A and B are shown apart, each in its own frame.
Chain A
Amino acid sequence: MSYTAGPTGFDAAAATAWRDGVPVYDRGATICVIGAGPSGLTAIKNLKEHGFGVDCYERETGVGGAWNWRHNRSPMYASTHLISSKPFTQFPDFPMPDEWPDYPKHTQVLAYLDHYADHFELRPHIWFGTEVVKAEPAEGDRWDVTTRGTAGYGSERIHRYAGLIIANGHNWSPKRPDYEGLAEFKVETIHSSAYKDVAQLRGRKVLVIGGGNTGCDIAVEAAQQAARCWHSTRRGYWYAPKFALGRPADQVNDLMLWLRLPLRMRQWLGAKTMRSTVGDLTRFGLPEPDHKLYETHPIANSQLVYYLGHGSITPVPDVKRFHRNSVELSNGEEIEPDLVVLATGYSPAFEFLDPALLNTDPQGKPRLALHVFAKRYPTLAVAGLLQPDSGLFPLVHWQTVAFAKLMRLREAAPVKASALHRKLESEVDRRWTEANVKNSSRHWFEVSHVTYLKAIDQLLQEATP
């Protein structure tokens, strides 16, 4: 079907159906994409490449999603740095410029996404300033998507699509733990999503809670600028340096994968390299890691250990409870910060969707095959709901290619397509990690990039008619 951008072509098809007394505009074989961040952009591009019409809805006024620091849901802070080097960060068919460093700046990533949108002419497909209020299944495996202007401007409209890709990101809805006494705590407490610039820390006594990548970054900035910095972590982690053996550390890891070394040997070699470069962290008062290397998402931070060694960061254990003006730690110690930063992460949220559609369990985690495909809904996909041990973009690229191929297979060989989907349905609880991943709510969608891509690769081959 031909598709011209702009309001004239958009509702050319008259309302052919009704839903609760509201007209539904049928968009035919067009597929809907929710969100124009990296996952949404690659979804549009790959669907286009497979010959589909695409409408994308983006609540903000520009592309880039989380990477666009102008967006109020963006988790970016001025010093955000990539933790995967270029070969793992770029889309597999759109290289980042040679002139950029091994780990590009977050502003460069945004420039890259902007260029991607222009290069592949994706913008005519995106409806900016439009948010999705509701997405519900309609007859014939189709989807009714209700939209309106962001923040409630304009009236609601319903369009009917042949498929739906949800790419709304998972780093925008802050996760706040329930600490005892936090409500009565009188000291300024912010979530890391509200942390933007180092000026917020200057001269203050800062407690950073959380041992993830963001927590470590903010602890490092506090070490440089604040009067005092405590860094509270629940358990021991591996702090991987960003460069090892003279190259980006993730490339060393893939060198071992290329040599097809078994996991045990890689863990041994990796741990040995870490000991010789980073050293024994218990010397600085940090707990011993309670897991083996490669068992959880890596913390890539070269500077944290440096500042621990200079005494600018005081490592402290988990918080036990908050008092009116002080924080009690699990070892009984009491500290009196004047700023608390909760770097406790984000949870995925799909506020426009009935949780049952994603087969969501009582803990709120969607049970999807390959973290993409929903049970009973072959025309629904979630893109980018992953936490890989490498960059995310290549994985999302192949996720959306697989979805496009499956959608094409539905037309070319419907029997084969439904058999393939049934096979996927049987795999909803499978994990795509090679090591035994720690069972914390942060870790359920972690994947090892090679293990995961092997599974996607197989699906791509099976989805060829």
Chain B
Amino acid sequence: MLSVIRTREWAFPVPPARREVLRATPEADLGKPPVLFVPGFGHAAWVFAEHWLEHTADRGFPAYAMSLRGHGASAPAPKADLRAYAHDVAQVAASLPRRAVIVGHGAGALAAAHALARYPAKAGVLVAPVFGGPSTALRNPLICLPALFGGRLRLSANQLFSRELPSSQGRTYAKRLGRASRKAQWQLLAGRNPEDPVGDPPVLVVGSPDDRIVHDSAVRKVARRYGGAPLLFPGMGHDLMLDARWREPIDAILDWLEKA
């Protein structure tokens, strides 16, 4: 179903915001599409700058990592909603020189999925997607309880990473996390299903059966919605791009892009 009439979006356009975009460009232009990484709630561009960004550029793809508004070095946005986050993704994607591949992680995958309905991406990749809904909250009561009262989602190192990552490193990462807006957290709980993507892009879903935040069945459900099976990396935590074995999933994603 295409959404043609968007009076609400026309009457209330998302307010503009300054956004942080980091990039790594390959040495030579091999004609490969640009890849845009979208971090999840609380995360910012730096989580991709740690490993994936450079690695993607080394493999010949122009790579970009953004921060949603209210995250990282983007403008503060305490009142932002999910539509504003999706708008941020579509804005950055449309500013790139060519049709982009959008890679969203966690709840950023949901923002990316909403953006895919507003921008005809070359391809979409949803990594450990958090599409929300009450079941996600029930699985993580301790994370979500404060969020019910407007607090932040409490993501701790042992929930985000596998044991292979040194715990001191994990704690350093977890300390750098910020928070999403109260409204967006509520919308995540409500779990509105994104519209179908425009331009019929291929969509790949990546996850881990040992992810302590997204259950295996939730990843499979998202993959089914986009007509496929998920690519799973057992033994890894939710933050696949920061975990000890970060190289495996990104190589698999780039291999898939080269084939698609």
Contacts and interface: CB of A to CB of B under 8 A. Distances in A.
Interface of A: 49, 85-88, 92-95, 97-99, 118-121, 250-252, 254-255, 257-258, 390, 398, 401, 450, 453-454, 456-457, 460-461
6 contacts: A87-B10, A93-B199, A120-B99, A121-B98, A254-B7, A258-B10
A274 B94 CA distance: 37
Contacts of A95: 87, 90-91, 94, 118-119
A94 to B, nearest CB: 5
B114 to A, nearest CB: 13
A255 B4 CA distance: 16
Interface residues of B, number: 29
B interface majority secondary structure: loop
Interface string B68-97: 000000000000000000010011001111
Given A49-B200, A95-B90, A254-B10, 4 more contacts: A88-B10, A255-B12, A258-B7, A454-B4
Contacts of A401: 2
Interface of B: 1-2, 4-13, 16-17, 87, 90-91, 94-99, 118-120, 198-200
A258 B8 contact: yes
B99 A119 contact: yes
A112 B132 CA distance: 35
Contacts of B120: 49, 93
Contact of A98 (B5, B11, B17): B17
A252 B10 CA distance: 9
Contact of B16 (A49, A98, A258, A390): A98
A195 B235 CA distance: 70
Contacts of A258: 7-8, 10-11
Given A93-B198, A257-B7, A450-B7, A251 B98 contact: no
Most chain B CB within 10 A, of A98, A99, A257, A454, is at: A98
A294 to B, nearest CB: 15
A121 B91 contact: no
A307 B95 CA distance: 39
B4 A119 contact: no
A49 B2 CA distance: 15
B6 A121 contact: no
A23 B182 CA distance: 68
